[in-house]
Structure 1
Amino acid sequence: MSIKESAMIAVRDCMGVKPGEKVLIVCDTERDFIGVPLYEAAMELGAESIYMEMKPRTRSGEEPPEVIADAMLHSDVVIAPTVFSLTHTQARKKACLNGARIATIPLTEGTKELITDMFSTGGMTADYFRMRDRIEQLYKLQQGTKTAHITTPLGTDINVEFAGREWHMDTGLALNKGDFTNLPGGELFIAPTSANGKLVVDGTFGDWGLLDTPLELIIKDGVCVDARGAHADDLKKLFEELGPDARHMAELGIGMNPKARLWGILLEDEKVGNTIHMALGNDCGFGGTCTVAMHCDGIVTHPTVYVDGKKLDIKEFL
């Protein structure tokens, strides 16, 4: 499959773009090779397609320029292939509340060739409607749950609390007003209220890509109190720069895309089936209260997950 074909799938199938709709492509100078095909696909479908390009942000969760945020607010559809993620921004949240259907495509890691390969052959090739049905099945089972206990062979042993918070689905489909997704999609996620234990990240971590050696995060009362191993020093520098909110445990996610693979590109890696991910930083866009300009995910492979004391077999839903 080519980039042009993947772009058409994204615009036509995942976003349901119709003739005459106002479709805004928010890109940056580093990801135009994804942004331009999306713009052209929307034009081909008869949309009022608009392309806006900015300089890359400095980290995921940083707000776009005001002129772009305003344009997002007045669009029917927004697709954002960028280096750093616009997912956890007020601009994205406000535009969704105003009715825009939005897909973010944060491509922080990887060469042009690797990203092109991923977008053409990985998670974008999933059967999105079948995957949506499976995610909805698991979503219904998780309603009203309160806690999770997660372990892995590498030493993860963490208890996560989320009573009163709502699970969210990322199906890769944004067909109704206010819908939001990543592309490729494929996860179920929630903002914890607290967490305690050790998280051993052995997949991709934040904007640093696929780890050569694991990173251990020590979590106490929903806060990262220590980091050891790969990129621990880099993470601690962010803590110093951004303050205590950057240590906040922001997300528990379950990867559910059967076609996704570990590329070292967080966008797809967090969707890999039978993985979980947890994030530090901003969670205000999906039920939390932390607004710090950072959202840093860590992928954990081969997890054993118990929800409210009952074992969850993620593979059954792939």
Structure 2
Amino acid sequence: MKKILMAKVSSTILEACIGAKEGEKILIVTEPEKLLISESIATIAYQMKAEPIISIIVPRENDGQEPPQPIAEAMKSSDAFICVVGKSITHTHAVKNAIANGSRGIVMTQFSEDMMIHGGMQADFKQLKPICMSMAKALENGKEIRLTTPYGTDLSFSAEGRRGNALYCMVEKGEFSTAPTVEANVSPIEGTANGKIVADASVPYIGIGLLDEPIYLDVNNGRITSISGGRQAKILREDLEFKNDENVYNIAELGVGLNPSCRFIGLMLEDEGVYGSVHIGIGTNITLGGNVKAACHYDLIMTQPTIVVDGRTVLKDGEVVL
């Protein structure tokens, strides 16, 4: 029954998100636990007279770990690819190279079967596109960007010369987007971020999910220098220490969630898309316009944020004011 109910969103992914065409080779990269979702998408692709290819990989040990080289090559040579995985392969050279070669991709990390029936994928992506693009343009090339929240976040950085990225779940040749999150983001210039981050909503990685209490992080010269809080803060701190990679502490991204159909459920691409939320990405930034490749990319999500770019308020207490 679930496969039937998932058909509507599968059609949205293929028709609205990647614009699949007859004869195109659509590569679906997946894991054993996500096979029902992948088969639903492949069924619709076949009905559209595209050529679906399902490639099952062993789940990556860490988010941000590269997929096997044959999969990376297949992504690069595909007309379009869809990643239906539990462990993220978004911030990888495989995705970056596939896009550079002209493929187009939709990334569905931590997608559940329920998300194929309810939630963020029910949004009108065409309607949200101009809002997302406007926010990305507002963040682009910001010489001084300041993020604050009522919970104690106060972070400033420069994104001068950096592009703004608009991810609205619809892609053309040479583009990728996450789904169902609709977000605008920018990658800070390495070494420029300073202040404090207080994540109060979610850290949808390594089993943390929805936060029981805030996680507090100090940032100096572009890197996290301390992490404090309760049980969940300890999980994050110990995981990053275990990576034994200084780049995991890099402030990699400021992202603004813009999907009114998303809700906080403890899963990555649903939580990050919640309208009016903001996430600070840490670690890898190579797919966002930066040059750091780390052992992971995690997002720290907060609510009621205010963003000021070069003196202009673009987000006020979680409401877009462009």
TM-score with structure 2 length normalisation? 0.92
Report the alpha carbon displacement of residue 189 of structure 1 after superposing the two structures with TM: 0.6
RMSD: 1.7
Distance in 2 between the 1:265 and 1:127 partners? 21
Partner of 1:112: none
1:189 and 1:254 in contact (8 A); partners too: yes
1:134 and 1:317 in contact (8 A); partners too: no
Secondary structure of 2:173's counterpart equals coil
Partner of 2:226: 226
1:99 and 1:178 in contact (8 A); partners too: yes
> Which sections of structure 1, spanning at least 5 residues, go unmatched?
109-114
Partner of 2:196: 198
Q: Which residue among 289, 292, 304 is the counterpart of 1:290?
A: 292
Report the alpha carbon displacement of residue 242 of structure 1 after superposing the two structures with TM: 3.1
Aligned AA (1:213): E
Q: Which residue among 124, 129, 132 is the counterpart of 2:129?
A: 132
Would you say 1:188 and 2:184 are equivalent positions?
Answer: yes
Once the two structures are superposed, the pairs formed by residues 101-250 of structure 1 within 5 Å of their partners are 101-107=104-110, 115-174=112-171, 176-193=172-189, 194-207=192-205, 208-230=208-230, 231-237=232-238, 238-250=240-252
Distance in 2 between the 1:102 and 1:10 partners? 10
Secondary structure of 2:278's counterpart equals strand
Would you say 1:300 and 2:302 are equivalent positions?
Answer: yes
Partner of 2:319: 315
Distance in 1 between the 2:242 and 2:285 partners? 19
Partner of 1:22: 25
Secondary structure of 2:82's counterpart equals strand
> Which sections of structure 2, spanning at least 5 residues, go unmatched?
none
Distance in 2 between the 1:139 and 1:12 partners? 24
1:18 and 1:46 in contact (8 A); partners too: yes
2:204 and 2:266 in contact (8 A); partners too: no
Report the alpha carbon displacement of residue 317 of structure 1 after superposing the two structures with TM: 6.6
Once the two structures are overlaid, the 10-residue window that deviates more, 48-57 or 204-213, is: 204-213
Report the alpha carbon displacement of residue 27 of structure 1 after superposing the two structures with TM: 0.2
Would you say 1:51 and 2:47 are equivalent positions?
Answer: no
Secondary structure of 1:181's counterpart equals strand
Distance in 2 between the 1:223 and 1:141 partners? 24
Aligned AA (1:249): I
Aligned AA (1:293): A
Aligned AA (2:218): I
Aligned AA (2:224): C
Q: Which residue among 12, 15, 25 is the counterpart of 2:15?
A: 12
Distance in 1 between the 2:319 and 2:303 partners? 13
Secondary structure of 2:210's counterpart equals coil
Secondary structure of 1:121's counterpart equals coil
Count, aligned residues: 311
TM-score with structure 1 length normalisation? 0.93
Per-residue CA distance 1:219-245 (angstroms, 9 max, x = gap):
111100000114333333323423211
Would you say 1:251 and 2:253 are equivalent positions?
Answer: yes
Aligned AA (1:289): N
Distance in 2 between the 1:188 and 1:200 partners? 20
Once the two structures are overlaid, the 10-residue window that deviates more, 138-147 or 293-302, is: 138-147
Distance in 2 between the 1:282 and 1:44 partners? 37
Distance in 1 between the 2:297 and 2:56 partners? 22
Partner of 2:263: 261
Distance in 2 between the 1:284 and 1:107 partners? 21
2:157 and 2:188 in contact (8 A); partners too: yes
Aligned AA (1:216): Y
2:314 and 2:321 in contact (8 A); partners too: no
